[in-house]
Structure 1
Amino acid sequence: MSTLVLVHGFWHGAWCWNEVVPHVVAGGRLTVAVDMAGHGLYARRPRWSTEQPYNPEAVGTEVSPVADVTLDDAAELLTSQIKRIGGGEPVTVVAHSAAGPVLTRTAQRTPELVAHAVYLTAYMPASGVSAAAYTRLPEAADDRVAPLLQGDPAAIGALRLDFATDDAVYRQGLREAFYGDVDPVLADAATGLLTPDGPIGVMLGATTLTRDGWGSVPRTYIVCTRDMAIRPGLQAKFVAEADAAFPDNPTSVVTLDASHSPFLSKPGELADLLIPLG
């Protein structure tokens, strides 16, 4: 079977798959986790996040050091990673959350490199629609992430979270949004590894989808039924739109009774779902 390439969502890094990888490898599947553009080893932290004393005003006004990262940039990086990992052979790519539009752009441009596209409670935007557009829909109205965002994304160039604050209510909001079913000690450790800025360009880019591009790639959507960041209703909308556009290549759907971060709360169960794909 093809190698699994795991791509994290906004604010996270390849580290978030650490609990999943051993399960997948034990199941006989090669797997590699990579960093997305603007994250992990490619992250650049705004000054306010490390400077002392803490300056709450700067949180909402400082222009992000990853403001220039676009969807094209993220897709080009992912393409180079899967070429290197697969040695030119197709791989199965698992995209979480905001990595979804990056996978979509990559699969549209180079469908021969993607054996299977797996969306783990991820944005899977329709043709010509940005991921950001979905955040304004009724299906996203009660998500827990939007109230946590700091500053004007258009002005600072990022979707920004404040991990430096000691506001207990805000920090509890972070846990509820991302790690509702994760052990609190593990959730605190994960929060300490997050980076503040997700480049807005990734969410604003849109991809025109074609039947012989993205529409030709087998795809699976893993619905997380307790997700408070990308609500189940919005996840269902992604699938419905994809199937309406490409009915000859319907989306395979599986469900997981988990929050937005099953790689931390249910790594074994998630691995069991991923191992047979592609």
Structure 2
Amino acid sequence: MRKVVLVHGFWHGSWCWSRVTEQLAARGVASVAVDLEGHGLNGRQPSTRWNRPFDPAAFAVEPSAVAAVTASSAAAMLVEQIRTIGSGEPCIVVAHSQGGTVATAAAELAPELFAHLVYVAALAPVAGLPSVAYSWVPENQGELVLRLLRADPAGVGAVRIDPDDRDGHAAIRETFYGDVDEATATAAISLLSADSPLGIPTETFPVTAGRYGTMPHTYVVCTKDNTIPVALQRRFVREIDAVSNAPTTVVELDSSHSPFLSRPVALATAITGLCGRA
């Protein structure tokens, strides 16, 4: 059975997959959650995040320590993580949200390491656009992410939020964790990073049928998503199909943007169903 590599999205880290890895283990599936470049243990926080008293004006202008990270550099790191985890054998790679951008670039770099690429409410920029360009397409109407930003991304080199603002927790929960119980959502918010690298969503990279398109793809559509609206998720499915050798398998979950917290059993079941086919 193939090993599973779990890839988080912006502001998150490997920690967000803990409930899914537990469920996968119960099903006999070996899985490893990784920290992307610029995130988790590979991330760096703005020093002004920790200053007391907190200065929102200083927080809004401090240059990010992860500004040099790009989609290409993060993809190169992910390729090496997958190679290590799978001992060079292909793995099933499951990518959430903006992690889909990195996984897409990695799949183009090293398709031989991907037995199956699974997107979970993820960005999949396969049509020649950087993922940031989808922020302004009609299918993205209704998203709630942009209101969370606390700095000009171009000015600081990162997409910056403030997880430590207790008054802003309701907005973060509505955006990411709408169907997650309050205690878990509060714990998750406390673990979020402030910065995610702007260079990941702004980079355009090639995606070809001869490399990326050779592997099977699955897209898990989250039907209550306030971060990547359902219409945009379905657009990504159509664009993946246009560059792939076979149609994308679509799985629907009645969940918010974070089924790894609200529906870990259902998500693990969906992933396990792919393991025997990869």
TM-score by length of 2: 0.97
Residue identity matched to 2:78? L
> How far off is 1:59 after superposition?
2.3
Other-structure match for 1:63: 63
> How far off is 1:57 after superposition?
0.4
Other-structure match for 2:234: 236
Counterpart of 2:222 (choices 221, 224, 230) is: 224
Cα shift readout 1:110-132 (whole Å, capped 9, x = no counterpart): 10000000000000112321110
> How far off is 1:60 after superposition?
1.6
Contact 1:125/1:131 (<8 A) preserved? yes
> How far off is 1:141 after superposition?
2.3
> How far off is 1:48 after superposition?
1.3
> How far off is 1:165 after superposition?
2.0
Separation in 1 of the partners of 2:16 and 2:24? 14
Other-structure match for 2:165: 165
User: Which stretches in structure 2 are left out of the alignment for 5+ residues?
Assistant: none
Other-structure match for 1:5: 5
Contact 1:127/1:207 (<8 A) preserved? no
Aligned residue for 1:133, secondary structure, equals: helix
Separation in 2 of the partners of 1:127 and 1:10? 21
Aligned residue for 1:185, secondary structure, equals: helix
Separation in 2 of the partners of 1:57 and 1:266? 38
Other-structure match for 2:271: 274
Other-structure match for 1:254: 251
Residue identity matched to 2:204? A
- Percent of paired sites with the same residue: 47
Aligned residue for 1:275, secondary structure, equals: helix
Residue identity matched to 2:240? A
Residue identity matched to 1:216? T
Are residues 1:199 and 2:184 paired? no
Contact 1:132/1:204 (<8 A) preserved? yes
Contact 2:127/2:239 (<8 A) preserved? no
Aligned length: 275
Residue identity matched to 2:189? T
Contact 1:23/1:271 (<8 A) preserved? yes
Aligned residue for 1:19, secondary structure, equals: helix
Residue identity matched to 2:16? C
Are residues 1:185 and 2:206 paired? no
Q: What do you get for the CA RMSD once the two structures are aligned?
A: 1.0
Aligned residue for 1:244, secondary structure, equals: helix
Contact 1:179/1:187 (<8 A) preserved? yes
Other-structure match for 1:148: 148
Separation in 1 of the partners of 2:86 and 2:165? 41
Contact 1:224/1:260 (<8 A) preserved? yes
Separation in 1 of the partners of 2:162 and 2:199? 19
Residue identity matched to 2:201? M
Separation in 1 of the partners of 2:248 and 2:265? 23
Separation in 2 of the partners of 1:158 and 1:107? 24
Other-structure match for 1:24: 24
Cα shift readout 1:74-115 (whole Å, capped 9, x = no counterpart): 101101101101111000100000000111111111100000
TM-score by length of 1: 0.97
Other-structure match for 1:110: 110
Other-structure match for 1:85: 85
Contact 2:223/2:255 (<8 A) preserved? yes
Residue identity matched to 2:94? V
> How far off is 1:49 after superposition?
0.8
Aligned residue for 1:234, secondary structure, equals: helix
Separation in 1 of the partners of 2:108 and 2:157? 25
Contact 2:23/2:268 (<8 A) preserved? yes
> How far off is 1:139 after superposition?
1.3
